[in-house]
Chains A and B, each alone.
Chain A
Amino acid sequence: MIEPGSPDKGPAAPPALVKEHRAAPRRRNLWQLFREEFWAANTFMVTFLAVVLALVAGAIIMIIADPETRATWSYFFARPGDALQASWGLVSEAYANLFKGAIADPDQWNRWFWNMAPWQQALYPISETLQYAAPLALTGLSFAVAFRAGLFSIGAQGQATMGSIAGALAGFLISAPGWLHVPVALLCGLLGGMLWGFLPGWLKAKTGAHEVITTIMLNYIAFHFLTWIVIQKGIQDPSRSDAISSKVDETARLPLLFDPSLRANLGIVLALLATAFVGWMLKRSTFGFELRAVGANPDAARTAGMSVAATIILVMTLAGGLAGLGGATMVLGTAYALTPSVVGTIGFDGILVALLGRARPWGVLAAALLFGALQAGGNRMQSFSGISLELVGVIQALIAIFVAAPALVKAIVRLRESRTGGAAELAKG
């Protein structure tokens, strides 16, 4: 737990949190153990309840926004059954579609079991989830790495944009055999992102320019650069008049994991490797130690002989590379062509993912899978239940709010104090 007086990062513990616990340990039966340890403000429980609470809030918004359901609440006291039934019908159907779109549709499994449908349809939801999760994991890792070094890098959006540009250019300007083309294109994406991460790092280290400002500005510059480059001769698709580039060569596209009809691709494997790498780097490598030291206390790190400036530059470059890779996987894995909106909002979503994953590598990957699932399920919820996809954004933001405010979750559901460390520590750098 961080002291209230210590600089930066991490909310300080309110006095209530550090209250004395019973001095002598006593034997507890299973029920007491469950009540006191599991139903407490530990990381798992807070995360789980954050998701539940966000879904509940989403349901309330859904009910308010639906005119027919809202109408039944106007005579709630005359016939409460109507209102409850209508609301339950609306919400359960929407969330059922969310689940079916994200994880599995029992109908499809049933049909596959009886040989009435190919296996691809049964696997489709999972494939979509993995496909959405891959770039989110990479941009989430990007934010997490910088965050652990005490830096707020809002620049994943711009870095991903540059990565997607570099990756796509390598994808259709170079021709190479498949085994070489994919790595080369990914490497270009990595370098594009690294360049865009190096700049704010260098500016911060050399001039003290605040990284929040410079990364935000670089996001816009990258976006305008993208809108310029897609309409240049040799890059724009010759058969189109709108802003779209030629498609990347077949050889440069990321191999699909399951089947040509399913979009899950090598990107998720890449995300897995990146997670493992970042996990190893933070925990085991010298650089990771320096990074965390700089994040925890730059003065102490400098006194211990570390170069704070060099660490900042390296961290930002690395974070940029991860986000660039995320952008490259989007253009090489699913979109295949550059458009002004090719990377969507993965940069900003990555921040939420990192937050949900508590800036820890494997946590970030898990959070990315959850967000990917919400995205995939949201698509189905939109087309089957007519609930706007924007609701998914609301739910994601609410999850992040609840995760960031464990004290709020605790207050709402009356969780106990956790005996084994609070969940309040978001990112002890």
Chain B
Amino acid sequence: MTATTVPGVSGVDSGFWTRQRKTGVVLVALGLIAAVVFGLLATSKAARFAVGETTSGFALSIPGTLGAVLFGVLAIAAGAVLAATGRRFGLWTALSLAAFVASFLCWQVSQAPGTLNTLALGNLAKGSLELSLPLVLGALGGVLCERSGVVNVAIEGQFIAGAFAAAMFGTIAGSIWAGIIAASIGGLLISALLAVLAIRYLVDQVILGIVLNVFALSLTAFLYEQFMQKNQDAFNKPPRVPQWDIPVLGDIPIIGPTLFKANIFVYVALALVVAIHFGLFKTRWGLRTRAVGEHPTAADTLGVKVLGLRYRNVLLAGLVAGIGGATFTLLATTNFNKGMTSGLGFIALAALIFGRWNPVGAFLAALFFGFANQLAFSISALNSPIPTQFLSMLPYVATIVAVAGLVGRVRAPAADGKPYVYG
């Protein structure tokens, strides 16, 4: 990404009011809102949080008003500690925000009419992870690309190509494996265009990404209308990935249904996060990739094949993001439809930047987005007084707040987006 820092903007924290302390003050204010506003709006009815996947079974229970105020006070406390000490930023921020969300949930759950006042935490966790799957895979694709110095805005295009190929070839072959392989090849094709045009023909990479998105979206829409729509049974009825239940582990509260009653994509995504993190920071390939992304001239001088490595990484990124595309058609219950990725590729890009170009960071950012999304679903099921449209805005508002407030100035790999020419 080009120009992530703006010179001329007060960039250096100085004196007593460091960024950490300022964030602490904001968190105190948020906590105050939680304690007062949510506390007043909550009812005295119990807010129940079931630990399983359904609302039945064991549940933690707390009176709504008490819970909202209590968690609000906790949020204030954590924020105050941060403002006072200015240290351990991540810990106190996470604690304060978690308490804020808990306070919000106490209000929302306790005000639900009748017997709706139970929130299934297991379902919340499972849904969060599933909704974040394409984002995790897309953001990992972005990490592979951008760490070696090629900006990947074409994640959306890789998604839609993957989703289309998975639906088409998964249906024709009648197997999810064929679908997944076809999806990764679909993502690879878009990546190949990205690689050749960016590395060989030196096209501005942000623009190229946007254009490739339009290209992939229109081409799949065109093919959808020419082939699929006329014969849905033959081309657009992909098999669905099964859910694997692991007997004992699956009954663990909250984590059980999330990790051990999951589908193949969950395991692929988690494995890839670990593998790419390990690869990037512990192997020779990772060191070279980072070198090429930060200072290609130096890497070249030391004998690293800059362009070859870039080609390889961009193509790998296409494979990974293409699998992310397969989650749209092989996991959800909907068949392929034109434009079905609805901009999630851009959210994956945001997760990548929010996660500071780091595989684990990108994973957490994607998870955060999935959580905000699932929270919106869960709350609208509670008959919330907040209109669903505003709940749908939640993930986007949260991302803006996070990017503006918590991350601040992020630094892309130094050579990100700059073509390298030998000589």
Contacts and interface: CB of A to CB of B under 8 A. Distances in A.
Interface of A: 4, 7-12, 14-15, 61, 65-66, 150, 152, 154, 203-210, 212-214, 216-221, 224-225, 227-228, 298-299, 301-302, 307-309, 312, 348-349, 351-352, 355, 388, 390-394, 396-398, 400-401, 404-405, 407-408, 424, 426
Given A227-B389, A351-B210, 10 more contacts: A65-B223, A150-B3, A208-B5, A216-B346, A224-B392, A312-B6, A397-B211, A400-B211, A401-B197, A424-B202
Contact of B353 (A10, A152, A210): A210
Given A221-B396, A308-B9, A213 B219 contact: no
Contacts of A204: 6
A225 B393 CA distance: 8
B390 interface: yes
Contacts, number: 193
B135 to A, nearest CB: 13
Interface in B399-416: 399-400, 403-405, 407-410
Contacts of B353: 210, 212-213
B197 A405 contact: yes
Contacts of A426: 204, 207
B2 interface: yes
A65 B230 CA distance: 13
B371 interface: no
A308 B6 contact: yes
Contacts of B201: 11, 405, 407-408
Contact of B204 (A11, A212, A217, A352): A11
B37 interface: no
B387 interface: yes
A106 B289 CA distance: 59
Among A7, A352, A393, A396, chain B packs the most CB atoms within 10 A around the CB of A393
B288 to A, nearest CB: 21
Nearest to A309: B9
B218 A208 contact: no
B4 A210 contact: yes
Most buried by A among B393, B400, B410, B418: B400
B389 A12 contact: no
Contact of A210 (B1, B9, B208, B423): B1
Interface in B184-217: 197, 200-204, 206-208, 210-212, 214-215, 217
Most buried by A among B200, B210, B221, B410: B210
Interface string B203-246: 11011101110110111011101110000000000000000000
Interface in B107-141: none
B212 to A, nearest CB: 8
Contact of B197 (A12, A308, A349, A408): A408
Nearest to A10: B204
B328 interface: no
Contacts of A150: 2-3
B272 to A, nearest CB: 23
A10 to B, nearest CB: 7
A407 B203 CA distance: 9
Contacts of B210: 154, 348, 351-352
Contact of B404 (A209, A212, A348, A407): A209
Contacts of A210: 1, 4, 353, 403, 410
A213 B349 CA distance: 8
B211 A355 contact: yes
B211 A12 contact: no
Interface in B1-22: 1-9, 11
Contact of B403 (A213, A221, A307, A401): A213
Contacts of B200: 407
Contact of A404 (B6, B207, B354, B399): B207
A230 B11 CA distance: 41
Contacts of A10: 204
B9 A393 contact: no
B214 A352 contact: yes
B330 interface: no
From A65, A388, A390, name the one whose CB has the most chain B CB atoms within 10 angstroms: A390
B396 A217 contact: yes
A390 to B, nearest CB: 4
A313 B233 CA distance: 52
A13 B346 CA distance: 30
B261 interface: no
A16 to B, nearest CB: 10
Given A152-B2, A298-B6, A355-B207, A224 B400 contact: no
Given A9-B2, A15-B423, A352 B226 contact: no
Given A208-B5, A426-B204, A213 B354 contact: yes
Contacts of A214: 400, 403-404
B8 A307 contact: yes
Contacts of B399: 213, 217
B400 A212 contact: no
A228 B389 contact: yes
Nearest to B205: A11
Interface in B356-404: 387, 389-390, 392-393, 396-397, 399-400, 403-404
Contact of B387 (A9, A217, A228, A309): A228
B349 A308 contact: no
A312 to B, nearest CB: 7
Contacts of B389: 224-225, 227-228
